[in-house]
Amino acid sequence: MHKQDSGVGLGAVSFVGEMKNQSKVCEKEVFMERNFDVLIVGGGVAGMSAGIYAKRSGKNVAIIEKMALGGTVGTLNQIENFPSQASVDGFTLAQMFVEQVKKLEIEIISDDILSVEFGGDLKVLKGKKGDYRAKKVIIATGISYIELGKNEEEFLGRGVSYCATCDANFFKGQTVCVVSRKGSGIAEAKYLSNIVKNVIVLDEGDMIVFAKANKVQNIEVVSNVSVQKIFGKDAVEGVLCNQNGKEKKFVASGVFVALGRKPKTDIYRKKLDLDAQGFIKTNENMETSVSGVYAVGDVRAGVMKQIVTACSDGAIAGKKACEGV
């Protein structure tokens, strides 16, 4: 559901500045060894949803966020598949969540968690500014997308996307490119082929076998290409590549970067059960392998990475975490 996801879209710089100022309204001075009923790590929509449900259960709750509240959603240019909002920009939608958090007087702690200890009845989160203890912890740290590393940031919100499910409908009747690595973009290409006019898969590896087996008429697979630059004036107009030492241009109005994604779970390795990609394993109640620790949103294994599902995860975890506290 992220429009031109993920990264900094139009208005993202101003969003971060404004949100930092707004979050100060809820911030309190950070002290060492503070105790809470429920602590939430991450201030995106999943984390804020968890905070709202936990706070409404009458618990002592705080959200720890190193940047600004809103997460990836706040950087998005346009969202068209969030229920109740036919079309809304990410900043406006994130602001709705923030206003509710402020109204409930949920404490916002500005800190970066560096390590965790989940062995005792009280879970310990160690940050740059202090240590925090809680009976229950909800992890909502999200994901980051593997970037192309060229000039894609210049066109975020103007034709470059990291999410076909989110943004395919913006390119109906148009030609798009999918940047792939060893087949990483094939699933995205197949999804897009049902919506856009033509899909050109630009893969660094040898995709000849797939190209021969491909039965989808509007998917073209190009092997052994290295993207050099995305070009365009006000929006994406195409991709400049190198193929076997020769320059090639591909005309397209959209570029989907499908090189993979990685969860922000480095500090939870050897603490929680993760899947092969590093996402946190949970059950349907958002419970992880450690009692009293939950995971929600994009950081959770095996779920759609959408705003609406992140909200659902947060609501479930926020409610469950308050049981027995």
Could you tell me what percent of the chain has a pLDDT over 70?
A: 90
Q: Where are the beta strands (DSSP E) in the chain?
A: 34-41, 61-64, 107-109, 113-117, 123-127, 131-139, 143-145, 160-161, 175-180, 198-203, 219-222, 225-231, 238-243, 246-251, 254-257, 261-263, 293-295
In CATH terms, are 12-144+261-320 and 147-257 the same topology?
Answer: yes
Cα 255–chain centre separation: 18
**pLDDT at site 303:** 75
Residue 128, pLDDT above cutoff 80: yes
Specify the range with the lowest mean pLDDT, choosing from 78-82, 97-101, 298-302.
78-82
Residue 7, pLDDT above cutoff 50: no
Contact (Cβ atoms closer than 8 angstroms) between residue 226 and residue 242: yes
Contact (Cβ atoms closer than 8 angstroms) between residue 48 and residue 97: yes
The CA dihedral of 29, 136, 69, 270, to the nearest 10 degrees, is 110
Which residue is it, tokens 């709750």? 61
**pLDDT at site 131:** 95
Beta bridge partners of 27: 108
What is 12-144+261-320's CATH topology?
FAD/NAD(P)-binding domain (3.50.50)
* Mean pLDDT on 39-50: 98
Residue 28, pLDDT above cutoff 70: no
**pLDDT at site 11:** 39
Contact (Cβ atoms closer than 8 angstroms) between residue 82 and residue 1: yes
Residue 178 is encoded by which pair of tokens?
């999918």
**pLDDT at site 32:** 58
Contact (Cβ atoms closer than 8 angstroms) between residue 297 and residue 140: yes
Domain boundaries, the chain: 12-144+261-320, 147-257
Give the 3-state secondary structure of residue 1: coil
Listing DSSP states for 111-146 in one string gives --EEEEE-SSSSEEEEESS-EEEEEEEEE---EEEP
Listing DSSP states for 22-37 in one string gives HHTTTB----TTEEEE
Residue 127, pLDDT above cutoff 60: yes
Record the pTM: 0.75
Q: How far apart are CA 283 and CA 280, in angstroms?
A: 10
Residue 264 is encoded by which pair of tokens?
């922000």
* Mean pLDDT on 133-153: 94
Give the 3-state secondary structure of residue 159: coil
**pLDDT at site 31:** 47
What is 147-257's CATH topology?
FAD/NAD(P)-binding domain (3.50.50)
Mean pLDDT, all residues of the chain: 89
Specify the range with the lowest mean pLDDT, choosing from 26-40, 95-109, 205-219.
26-40
